[in-house]
Amino acid sequence: MAYYFDEPSRTFNEYLLVPGYSSKECTQDSVDLATPLVKYKVGEAPAVRMNVPMVSAIMQAVSDDRMAVALAKEGGVSFIYGSQSVENQAAMVKRVKAHKAGFVRSDSNIRPDQTLADIIALKEKSGHSTIAVTDDGTAGGKILGIVTSRDYRVSRTPLDMKVSEFMTPFEKLVYAEDGVRLSEANDILWDHKLNALPIIDKQQRLTHFVFRKDYDSHKENPNELLDRQKRYIVGAGINTHDYRERVPALVEAGADVLCIDSSEGFTEWQKDTLAWVRAEYGDTVKIGAGNVVDKDGFDFLADAGADFVKIGIGGGSICITREQKGIGRGQASAVRDVAAARADYARKTGYYIPICSDGGIVYDYHMTVALAMGADFMMLGRYFARFDESPSARLNINGTYVKEYWGEGSNRARNWQRYDMGGESKLKFEEGVDSYVPYAGSLKENVGQTLAKIKATMCSCGVTSIPDLQNNTKLTLVSATSIVEGGAHDVILKEPGGGVK
């Protein structure tokens, strides 16, 4: 006979957290939301740790390089979507890694015999207003000067004027010698009221720039997630078909962590992909796998070498896998089961494998419930698709601003690799829909509010860290009538202008 689970398939909406004792020390400022992203030996530190428990979904409508930068500033990680060419995905990763660094290599360079027209064209192409003037127009050439927007006025400076006539020449530059520490370079920036400081070697070649805006950015974003070279941490999605070409390109581009993007992870295809990565790179390449919904699926991927395991089938707001195929499991039940399996695995092997709850989040408090049930972090699609930084278009529909949001299993995405189980290279039927989500504004503002809610809930439970939340929190099932009781009821709501709603 088939196996039957004892409990119904539960969702996050069916649970509430029960308050615990809160001391005076239990304040939002004291809550630490740091969480591991990849596998580590119990008692040791993980190779990658996030400052907030949020990653963005591997979706065309969610995660590109702009989203990756915005989320890394807040302490999370984006997984740039893999349903595009290897070259395009690798280029997105490179842009993220180049966006922020203590020492930035110059990628906007020009010769002194070129003109203002060339400067303007280069600025439009790169978006950079600080341009190095070198003898050969390359980043490694001998530096002769610098051009910034202060050195010319488009309305008054002739477009054919030579760069050498209006640049700030080398003898007037404030610079630092190669080998200077970042803290010393920042001091020079402030002391001389500069926006950019060139770093020069003994042969007068430009090696790097240090920018004041990067220093200011760090002060504005204390949770920003950086690698050892002070570059933003970024992830990337792969599939089980072209990984032999995609993984090397992404690793070379600088991706910090990879994730197999698939609707179902309990497969030989994922095992083969993980085995190839381990054979080629050992443990130097960090890679997650999924999705699974029970202990058997978790154990399979853990034994296969996954650095983290993604949980969830059919729970996403644009996912119709359950309708189409009749497979899946309520997200709360899946997280609870896999969390127990993760704990067993850690006791047996001495290795902790983080688990990621992917899908099933409707309200912000569902994130805290997911963490309490054992998730180390959440992968979010609809949540991030609403923001300015997502790659989809913002539209005005009947007077309401929305953003487009489509599933990887929709005909629009055509991501057959994510759903293929062998056979023809095409999408045989849809497992996702094409839709809109209400436009919500900037990522920074919304994520800040969500994290404040998570921290406030944790304080109400008397805990100040995610491990404390997982080990010392009480949860209760709720009835249908208590869900109604939990919202506004038995009153006449006012409209914002004072009218009756």
Residues marked as catalytic: 319, 418
Q: What six digits make up the tokens of 136?
A: 């050969």
DSSP string, 113-157: TSBHHHHHHHHHHH--S-EEEETTSSTTSBEEEEE-GGG--TTTS
What lies within 8 Å, CB to CB, of 195 at 6+ separation is 130, 148, 189, 211, 212, 213
Q: What six digits make up the tokens of 12?
A: 């996050």
Question: What Cα–Cα distance (Å) separates residue 55 from each residue in 79, 261, 384, 387, 388?
Answer: 7, 14, 9, 14, 17
Rounded Cα distance, 195 and 183, in Å = 15
Rounded Cα distance, 330 and 361, in Å = 11
Give me the amino acid identity at 342: R
Q: How crowded is residue 65: how many other Cβ atoms within 10 Å of its Cβ?
A: 23
Classify residue 162 by its DSSP letter.
B
What lies within 8 Å, CB to CB, of 194 at 6+ separation is 174, 188, 212
DSSP string, 272-336: HHHHHHHHHHTTSS-EEEEEE-SHHHHHHHHHHT-SSEEE-SS-STTB-HHHHH-----HHHHHH
Rounded Cα distance, 88 and 446, in Å = 29
* Nearest C-alpha neighbor of 318 from the set 263, 375, 368, 382: 382
- SS3 assignment for 453-489: HHHHHHHHCCCCEHHHHHHCCEEEECCHHHHHHCCCC
Classify residue 39 by its DSSP letter.
-
What lies within 8 Å, CB to CB, of 445 at 6+ separation is none
Q: What six digits make up the tokens of 63?
A: 């995660």
Place of tokens 């790179």: 281
Using DSSP's 3-state secondary structure scheme, residue 235 falls into strand
* Nearest C-alpha neighbor of 289 from the set 225, 359, 354, 380: 354
